Amino acid sequence: MSTSVELPVTWAPRRNRVVLLPLCVLLVTMFTVIAFALPPNWHLNDRAALVVSGLLFAGVGLMLVRPRVSADDEGVTVVNFVRSRRLAWAEIVRVNFRQGDPWVTLDLADGTALAAVGIQPAGGHEQAIRAARALRDLVEQRSTARR
């Protein structure tokens, strides 16, 4: 069964974003309100530390929102929690998404594998399967790497 996808396309776990973005705002707001509501015997550096703590927690939340996989005519961009990598179509040999996998894995022509965290069941199981199939079909159509 071939999946038709119009390029450019981006896959990202939307449920994670819907939950984490408001949570990040809530954390910063909550820590800031607590910092200003503390009794007068708390020092300025204690209050600042609370605000910075809220910002750090929100930063971790924003890192968890970051993953996505984008495909265009030239190749695929995989953005994971900390790093991103641009791949030409010829560099991708296979798209793997076995039952129980936390996310899609790309087998690359250099013999390594790359996690594509942007396609994961946490964002919706059926959505992840459709996205993995669409990416697999695109790789099969566009890759010139030897299988």
Contact (CB, 8 A) for 59 and 31: no
Has domain 67-142 been given CATH number 2.30.29? yes
Token pair 């890192």 in the structure block, residue:
63
pLDDT at position 20 over 50: yes
Tokens linked to 102: 């936390």
> Count of residues for the chain?
147
Contact (CB, 8 A) for 50 and 29: no
The tens digit of pLDDT for each residue in 59-70 reads: 999 999 999 999
Tokens linked to 133: 């199939």
pLDDT at position 1 over 60: no
pTM for the full predicted model: 0.84
